[in-house]
């Protein structure tokens, strides 16, 4: 072909390319998310993903910018729990990625679907360790801490990468997924037509897993033979959103039940079968324990110890989608492997009309203990002491939640968390959000923001002053987006208590002591929100009701007696004690 002919062909190709609509990596990431019904991103902008956030917002997605990636990640994690879609956290490379990684591992541990998407340096630079800006092999670091991790190098693979991440996050036992997007990928160009063809709408990412008929029969046989059965509901049951099916099974079984903290409200806490106020009794005296979306981990003392009665005195029935979870701490007499809705629906159907509920003796024993404990606790919850103790303050909030059951309660701290779990009743599913399996501090503000964004419900975040310190700067984010979040900081001047002293007599305070009489309410005022100080339970009740009625971002500095509380809350047994005395 002559030089003239070659030039003509080249010119024709260039004309065709100019006439074709083009797309790039930025838009393909956005289109892949929207195609799969994901329309919210939580993150912190910066190199190389700033424009990705801008373009996502321009495309109609909601993009919420935080002050720290860990809190954006915590928001994405709880968004996954609330919606059963992967929550998306978008971060910059290296330090930003590492900040988001704690939340990703937290989501995986709690079985919540989340995708951490991070920009990264180019492979050819990272692999030769040339010293690029924020150079790090992020994929290798993420792999041990999440359910799956993928890297996309070519624009035509963005659709596949996103599809794999979504399916991995949602299928089986949900969890966190890492998706690595090198900076050069985002600027890669291809035709819009080919780009659209490369995208994948994920079909049935979390298919039902129906248990075998023999497993159903075995479980009912064990349950039927029990004289003192107990059901334990975990947050996995709340995540399943099989609320009516779970309620139908629990009520038909007739067995008393307790709920782990984030499962509270699956059935209202004032349900006649709820045995939360008799937890010690039912754990010790039951002869059959059925776990629904709960695990025999440290939160249940691994199913062992004095609180569980004599070794071998119980048979366990366990519903879990992951067969590897069975026998993890105790032998499971009746494993039921499948998704929760399929399992409880099959159990209820197989019970038939002739199912015999537990004996009245067992139920009467439990109810009597519940009433005794509630009667003993009532005066403590009704006190109006100044300064407040935990019982008086939480008693006031208990009444607020009872009157406003649509409110989502976010809760973290040591004593603030432990007392609230047993004091504040919840009446609707997924209305209590807290630190989860790890007991990680710092989830408060990110969780509160996502709860407000994803549900539109008012949010009450009850924080210990130590816990609030991990994420307190996000009150600016709450004000910036004008979210209906009321933050209550239980201020007792320190960690556990504000009364420790430096034994050396040095001017440095003790490690557990904060600035005395800190004014956390002024932080919210600084950003345009409402800041209030409450010194009595009556003050606290009025301030919270005003905040929830107004829907305005509010922070209430709740002054708690510095001597109130116990070391490490109710898990002081996990705090090792030194036996060495140094003189």
Q: What is the pLDDT of residues 84-100, one digit of tens each?
A: 999 999 999 999 999 99
Angle, alpha carbons 23-89-292 (nearest 5°) = 125
Average pLDDT over the chain reads 94
* Digit-coded pLDDT (tens) for 142-187: 999 999 999 999 999 999 999 999 999 999 999 999 999 999 999 9
Q: Are strands 176-182 and 22-24 parallel, antiparallel or unpaired?
A: unpaired
3-state secondary structure of 483: coil
**How many CB atoms are closer than 10 A to CB 351?**
18
Residue-level length of the chain: 583
Where do you find CATH 3.40.50.970 in the chain? 22-198, 382-566
pTM: 0.94
- SS3 string, 170-231, reads HCCCCCEEEEEEEHHHHCCEEEHHHHHHHCCCCCCCCCCCCCCHHHHHHHHHHHHHCCCEEE
Question: 11 is written with which tokens?
Answer: 């010119």
| CATH ID of 213-368, from 3.30.830.10, 3.20.20.70, 3.20.20.10, 3.40.50.1220 | 3.40.50.1220
| CATH 2.40.40.20 correct for 22-198 | no
Exposure pattern of 94-122 as b/e (b: 16+ CB <10 Å)?
Answer: bebbbbbbbbbbbbbbbbbbbbbbbbbbe
pLDDT recorded at residue 9? 44
Lowest mean pLDDT among 16-20, 27-31, 567-571: 16-20
* Digit-coded pLDDT (tens) for 323-369: 999 999 999 999 999 999 999 999 999 999 999 999 999 999 999 99
Residue 477 confidence (pLDDT) above 80: yes
Where do you find CATH 3.40.50.1220 in the chain? 213-368
Residue 13 confidence (pLDDT) above 50: no
Residue 2 confidence (pLDDT) above 60: no
Report residue 62: phi and psi, to 5°: -90, 120
Contact 264/428 with Cβ under 8 angstroms?
no
CATH topology of domain 382-566: Rossmann fold (3.40.50)
Angle, alpha carbons 134-140-146 (nearest 5°) = 110
Contact 335/318 with Cβ under 8 angstroms?
yes
Place of tokens 């996103």: 162
């Amino acid at each position: 072909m002559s030089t003239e002919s070659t030039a003509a062909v080249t010119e024709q190709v260039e004309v065709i390319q100019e006439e074709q609509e083009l797309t790039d990596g930025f838009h393909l990431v956005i289109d892949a998310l929207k195609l799969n019904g994901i329309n919210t991103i939580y993150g912190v902008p910066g190199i190389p993903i700033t424009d990705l956030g801008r373009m996502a917002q321009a495309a109609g997605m909601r993009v919420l910018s935080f002050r720290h990636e860990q809190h954006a990640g915590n928001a994405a994690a709880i968004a996954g729990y609330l919606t059963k879609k992967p929550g998306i956290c978008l971060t910059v490379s290296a330090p930003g990625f590492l900040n988001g990684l704690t939340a990703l591992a937290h989501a995986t541990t709690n079985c919540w679907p989340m995708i951490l998407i991070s920009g990264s340096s180019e492979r050819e630079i990272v692999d030769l360790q040339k010293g690029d800006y924020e150079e790090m092999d992020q994929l290798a670091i993420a792999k041990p801490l999440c359910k799956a991790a993928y890297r996309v190098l070519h624009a035509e693979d963005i659709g596949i990468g996103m599809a794999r991440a979504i399916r991995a996050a949602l299928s089986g036992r949900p969890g966190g997924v890492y998706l690595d997007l090198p900076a050069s990928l985002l600027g890669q160009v291809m035709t819009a037509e080919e780009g659209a063809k490369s995208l994948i709408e994920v079909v049935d990412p979390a298919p039902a897993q129906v248990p075998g008929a023999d497993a159903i029969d075995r479980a009912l046989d064990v349950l039927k033979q029990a004289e003192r059965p107990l059901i334990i509901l975990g947050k996995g049951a709340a995540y399943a959103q099989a609320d009516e099916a779970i309620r139908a099974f629990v009520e038909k079984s007739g067995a008393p039940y307790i709920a782990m903290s984030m499962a509270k409200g699956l059935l209202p806490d004032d349900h006649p079968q709820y045995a939360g106020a008799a937890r010690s009794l039912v754990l010790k005296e039951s002869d059959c324990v059925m776990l629904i979306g709960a695990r025999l981990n440290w939160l249940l003392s691994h199913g062992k110890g004095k609180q569980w009665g004599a070794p071998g005195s119980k048979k366990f029935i366990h519903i879990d989608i992951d067969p590897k979870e069975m026998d993890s701490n105790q032998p499971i007499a009746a494993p039921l492997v499948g998704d929760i809705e399929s399992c409880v629906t099959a159990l209820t159907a197989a019970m038939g009309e002739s199912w015999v509920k537990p004996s009245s003796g067992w139920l009467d024993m439990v109810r009597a203990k519940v009433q005794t404990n509630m009667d003993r606790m009532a005066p403590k919850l009704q006190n109006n002491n100044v300064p407040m103790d935990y019982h008086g303050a939480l008693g006031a909030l208990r009444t607020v939640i009872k009157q406003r059951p649509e409110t989502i309660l976010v809760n973290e701290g040591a004593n603030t968390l432990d007392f609230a779990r047993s004091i504040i009743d919840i009446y609707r599913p997924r209305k209590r959000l807290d630190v989860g399996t790890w007991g990680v501090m710092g989830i408060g503000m990110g969780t509160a923001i996502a709860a407000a964004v994803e549900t539109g419900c008012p949010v009450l975040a009850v924080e210990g002053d130590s816990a609030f310190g991990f994420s307190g700067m996000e009150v600016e984010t709450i004000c910036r987006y004008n979210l209906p979040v009321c933050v209550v900081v239980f201020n007792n001047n320190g960690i556990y208590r504000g009364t420790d002293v430096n034994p050396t007599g040095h001017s440095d305070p003790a490690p557990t002591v904060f600035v005395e009489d800190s004014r956390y309410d002024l932080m919210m005022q600084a950003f345009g929100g409402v800041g209030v100080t409450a010194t009595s339970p009556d003050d606290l009740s009025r301030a919270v009701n005003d905040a929830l009625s107004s829907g305005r971002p509010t922070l209430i500095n709740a002054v708690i007696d510095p001597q109130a509380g116990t070391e490490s809350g109710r898990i002081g047994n996990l705090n090792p004690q030194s036996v060495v005395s140094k003189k």
